[in-house]
């Protein structure tokens, strides 16, 4: 198999029918906040126990094709001493890695950010590939507010995303390109549509300019939603319709798949929105998921840091993953939320 064919095969496998990606790439401060929410102190041991609970859930590979890891995790081992990338491969789940170093204030643009991490990225990607990573992720943060996002912010982040993607392809890793338009704010769904369209236009122009083969990458975008503080919250069908319209207008057909982020949506809404889009169908890409909190939250709550809750937590994750697997084909129903746990 040629180099390009390997990358295309990996990208296709990540969005295989019925499957999506588990985002478990929380930084140390972020996972500390999540563990604090259940009264658990964040230590290397507690973080390792929690992540092992997630990754070793029975039959998780039925609905999860890959998981995005944080630097700490890709260098760590399971309790049996096997390095996580090797263990995940054995479980039928492809290991990936978050490679950006976070969104930082954008000079000359109050209230806006640019994601950093390009310095030394080629060498880091080579190391991560040798550790067993098969794909990578880089997130740009786009905030909607008074007079923002600016073209300056959108262009700067698109350029960084494309540079990252080009380096990933060079090093044999499938890049997941994540331009996230945040749902924080009182903006309407129409405003989200316009900003998402502007962001996508610039991202794909930059990818084209930097010679990134679209067949070898995946897009991880926001859905087109009402802002969390908007008085009128768009319904599930409207979100699905507006999201597909935006992406049909601005995302090339050469892309194999779109793995939506949940972006602060509830578990149920993230699943319902994905399901509604797949029920509409008629698009050239696989519509999948790359959820973090929207997959993990039920398991985290069920676990509560207690060894006796391990099995219940894994059941909660398996159930949530199966519901999103059903949403991949538009076959999810609200009744499924409770019937498997009854």
pLDDT digits (tens, 9 = 90+) for 99-125: 999 999 999 999 999 999 999 999 999
Looking at 33, 220, 301, 306, which residue is catalytic?
Answer: 220
Q: Which are the contacts of 190, defined by CB distance < 8 A and separation ≥ 6? A: none
Q: Which CATH number is correct for 3-339, 3.30.390.30, 3.20.20.140, 3.20.20.70, 3.40.710.10?
A: 3.20.20.70
Supply the DSSP symbol for 107. Answer: T
Supply the DSSP symbol for 233. Answer: P
Burial-class residue 89 by CB neighbours within 10 Å (0-12, 13-18, 19+).
middle
Active site residue 180: no
Which among 14, 2, 214, 204 has a CA at the least distance from the CA of 96? 14
pLDDT digits (tens, 9 = 90+) for 283-337: 999 999 999 999 999 999 999 989 899 999 999 999 999 999 999 999 999 999 9
Active site residue 104: no
Rounded alpha-carbon distances, angstroms, from residue 148 to 38, 80, 339: 36, 49, 44
Residue at token pair 């600016």: 150
Which among 240, 250, 249, 245 has a CA at the least distance from the CA of 277? 240
Which among 105, 142, 99 has a CA at the least distance from the CA of 118? 99
Looking at 26, 52, 112, 178, which residue is catalytic?
Answer: 178
Instruction: Identify the pLDDT of residue 322.
Output: 97
Supply the DSSP symbol for 62. Answer: G
pLDDT tens-digit profile, the chain (342 residues): 777 899 999 999 999 999 999 999 999 999 999 999 999 999 999 999 999 999 999 999 999 999 999 999 999 999 999 999 999 999 999 999 999 999 999 999 999 999 999 999 999 999 999 999 999 999 999 999 999 999 999 999 999 999 999 999 999 999 999 999 999 999 999 999 999 999 999 999 999 999 999 999 999 999 999 999 999 999 999 999 999 999 999 999 999 999 999 988 999 999 999 999 999 999 999 999 999 999 999 999 999 989 899 999 999 999 999 999 999 999 999 999 987 555
């Amino acid at each position: 198999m040629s180099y390009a064919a390997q990358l295309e095969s990996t990208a296709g496998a990540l969005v295989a029918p019925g499957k999506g990606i588990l985002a478990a790439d929380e930084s140390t401060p972020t996972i500390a906040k999540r563990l604090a929410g259940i009264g658990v102190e964040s230590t290397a041991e507690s973080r390792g126990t929690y992540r092992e609970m997630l990754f070793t859930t029975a039959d998780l590979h039925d609905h999860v094709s890959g998981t995005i890891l944080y630097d700490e995790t890709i260098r760590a081992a399971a309790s049996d001493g096997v390095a996580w990338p090797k263990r995940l491969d054995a479980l039928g789940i492809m290991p990936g890695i978050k490679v950006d170093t976070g969104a930082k204030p954008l000079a000359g643009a109050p209230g806006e950010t640019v994601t950093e991490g390009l310095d030394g990225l080629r060498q880091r990607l080579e190391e991560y590939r040798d550790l067993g990573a098969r794909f990578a992720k880089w997130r740009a943060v786009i905030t909607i507010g008074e007079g923002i996002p600016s073209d300056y912010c959108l262009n700067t982040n698109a350029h960084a995303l494309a540079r990252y993607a080009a380096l990933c392809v060079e090093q044999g890793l499938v890049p997941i390109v994540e331009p996230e338009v945040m749902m924080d704010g009182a903006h309407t769904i129409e405003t989200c549509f316009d900003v998402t369209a502007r962001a996508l236009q610039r991202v794909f122009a930059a990818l084209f300019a930097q010679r990134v083969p679209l067949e070898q990458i995946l897009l991880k975008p926001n859905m087109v939603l009402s802002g969390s503080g908007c008085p009128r919250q768009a319904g599930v069908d409207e979100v699905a319709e507006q999201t597909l319209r935006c992406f049909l207008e601005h995302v090339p057909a050469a892309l194999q798949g779109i793995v939506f982020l949940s972006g602060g949506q509830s578990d149920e809404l993230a699943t319902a929105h994905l399901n509604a889009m797949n029920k509409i169908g008629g698009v050239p890409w696989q519509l999948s998921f790359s959820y973090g909190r929207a997959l993990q939250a039920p398991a985290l709550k069920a676990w509560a840091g207690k060894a006796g809750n391990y099995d219940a937590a894994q059941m909660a994750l398996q159930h949530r993953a199966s519901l999103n697997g059903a949403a991949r084909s538009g076959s999810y129903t609200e009744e499924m939320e409770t019937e498997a746990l009854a």
